[in-house]
C-alpha cells in the first residue's frame, strides 16, 4: 500500500470538552484552540451550536466564534479549517452570523441513539442535515457529515452495515465533502473496520470521501486507524489528551488521543504536519487545567522524558 500524508481533524475543543461536567472558562478553551493551531493542526472543530440543555459545557459557543483570534483566522487564514457542529438550521444561522466557513452535520445510523442525541428519528435527522447542507452550501460553506454508532448503538446493540451505508450515501447526496464514520461507543476492533469498509467500498463509496472517528473505550482506536489507513482512509478525527465523549453514549470514553495518532504515523514516515513535542505540551497543559490524567500514552511518555 502507498504511503501518503494523513490529515487530522482535531475535535478536542468540541467532542473533547462537551462531556465535561465542571464549567471550563472560555479563555481556557480559546487557549486550547490557539495552542492546537500553534502545534500545526490545520483542522480544528471549534465548538457546537446546540441546545444548552443538551450540552451545557458549550453554551459559550458564540464567545468562542466571536473572539478576535477566531475572527482573525476566519478572515485571514484560509488554509485553516475551523468547523462548527450544528444540529439544525438555527445553529447554522448562528454560525453564519459569525462568519464560520465550515459546519458539521451529524446523524446516527441507528434509531435509539438518534432519539437520545437529537430527539428525532434517523430519517428526520437526515432531513434536518439536508436542510442545513443546502442552506450552508448556498452561502458558500463547506459541510462535513458525521455518522454515529457505525458498529453499535448504546441502547439497541450491533449496527448492520446496510444502515451505515444508507446514512453515508444520503450524506454524500446532500453534498457533504467528507463523511466521518463515528464509533461513538468505542467498541469496534480492526476486524469490524475491515468488514464495514469493505462493505461500503463494495457499494461504491470511495475511500477518499471517508474519515475515521474512533472513540477509545476498548483501547482499539489506534489499531482501527491503522487498519482504516491501510484500506485507503486518509483523514482521522482525534482529541488532544484523549479528551472526549458524548453524554448520550453512557460509558463511552474519549476520542483517540491526537498525540498517539501523530506518533503512529510519524513512526511510519507518514506526514501529519503536526509538531508532536508541542502537541504533547498542549495535552499536558489541558489535562492540568481540567484536573484530569493525561489520556494520551505518547503524550505522557514524551512529557516524562
Residue number, 15 or 259, with CB nearest to Mg ion: 15
Q: How many residues at the interface with Mg ion, by CB under 5 A?
A: 1
CB of 62 to ligand HMG, least distance (A): 10
Positions touching ligand HMG (CB under 6 A) are: 15, 18, 48-51, 53-55, 87-88, 90-91, 106, 117-119, 146, 148, 182, 184, 213, 215, 246
Report how far residue 10's alpha carbon sits from residue 189's, in angstroms, rounded to the nearest whole number.
Answer: 22
| Structure-block grid coordinates of residue 89 | 438550521
CA 281 and chain centroid, separation? 21
Distance CA 141, CA 97 (A): 12
Contact at 8 Å (CB) between 149 and 159?
yes
Could you say which of Mg ion, ligand HMG, none residue 119 binds, taking C-beta under 5 to 8 angstroms by partner kind?
ligand HMG
One DSSP character per residue, 44-74 reads B--EE---TTT-GGGTTHHHHHHSHHHHHHH
Residue nearest to ligand HMG (CB): 182
Rounded CA-CA distance 166/262 in Å is: 32
| Residue 227 touching Mg ion (CB under 5 A) | no
246 an active-site residue?
Answer: yes
Q: Which is nearer to ligand HMG, 49 or 286 (CB)?
A: 49
Choose the one of ligand HMG, Mg ion, none that binds residue 50, judging by a C-beta under 5 to 8 angstroms depending on kind. Answer: ligand HMG
Label the pairing between strands 47-48 and 7-10: unpaired
Using the rule CB under 5 A, is 153 a contact of Mg ion? no
In the complex, what is the shortest distance from the CB of residue 180 to ligand HMG, in angstroms, rounded to a whole number? 7
Instruction: Name residues contacting Mg ion, limited to 15-44 (CB under 5 A).
Output: 15
Backbone angles phi, psi at 212, to 5 degrees: -110, 135
Instruction: Assess 10 for contact with Mg ion (CB under 5 A).
Output: no
Nearer CB in complex with Mg ion: 73/244: 244
Backbone angles phi, psi at 111, to 5 degrees: -70, -45
| CB closer to Mg ion, 74 vs 122 | 122
> Cα–Cα distance between 237 and 180 in angstroms, integer?
8
Residue recorded with cell 463547506: 142
Task: List residues with catalytic annotation.
Answer: 246
Residues engaged in binding Mg ion (CB under 5 A): 15
Amino acid at each position: 500500500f502507498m504511503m501518503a500524508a494523513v490529515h487530522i481533524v482535531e475535535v478536542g475543543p468540541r467532542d473533547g470538552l462537551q462531556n465535561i461536567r465542571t464549567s471550563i472558562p472560555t479563555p481556557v478553551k480559546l487557549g486550547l484552540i490557539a495552542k492546537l493551531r500553534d502545534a500545526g493542526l490545520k483542522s480544528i472543530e471549534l465548538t457546537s451550536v446546540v441546545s444548552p440543555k443538551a450540552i451545557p459545557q458549550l453554551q459559550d459557543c458564540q464567545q468562542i466564534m466571536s473572539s478576535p483570534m477566531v475572527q482573525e483566522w476566519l478572515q485571514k487564514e484560509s488554509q485553516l479549517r475551523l468547523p462548527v457542529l450544528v444540529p439544525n438550521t438555527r445553529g447554522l444561522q448562528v454560525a453564519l452570523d459569525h462568519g464560520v466557513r465550515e459546519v458539521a452535520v451529524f446523524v446516527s445510523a441507528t434509531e435509539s441513539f438518534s432519539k437520545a442525541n437529537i430527539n428525532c428519528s434517523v430519517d428526520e435527522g437526515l432531513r434536518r442535515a439536508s436542510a442545513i447542507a443546502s442552506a450552508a452550501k448556498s452561502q458558500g460553506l463547506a459541510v462535513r457529515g458525521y455518522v454515529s454508532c457505525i458498529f453499535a448503538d448504546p441502547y439497541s446493540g450491533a449496527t448492520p452495515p446496510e444502515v451505515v451505508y444508507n446514512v453515508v450515501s444520503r450524506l454524500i447526496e446532500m453534498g457533504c465533502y467528507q463523511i466521518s464514520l463515528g464509533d461513538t461507543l468505542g467498541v469496534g476492533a480492526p476486524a469490524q473496520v475491515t468488514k464495514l469498509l469493505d462493505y461500503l467500498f463494495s457499494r461504491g463509496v470511495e475511500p477518499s470521501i471517508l474519515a475515521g472517528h474512533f472513540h477509545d473505550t476498548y483501547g482499539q482506536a489506534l489499531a482501527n486507524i491503522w487498519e482504516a489507513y491501510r484500506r485507503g482512509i486518509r483523514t482521522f478525527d482525534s482529541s488532544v489528551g484523549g479528551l472526549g465523549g458524548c453524554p448520550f453514549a453512557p460509558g463511552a470514553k474519549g476520542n483517540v488521543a491526537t498525540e498517539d495518532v501523530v506518533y503512529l504515523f510519524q513512526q511510519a514516515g507518514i506526514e501529519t504536519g503536526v509538531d508532536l513535542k508541542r502537541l504533547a505540551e498542549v495535552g499536558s497543559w489541558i489535562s492540568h487545567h481540567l484536573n484530569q490524567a493525561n489520556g494520551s500514552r505518547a503524550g505522557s511518555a514524551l512529557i516524562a522524558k
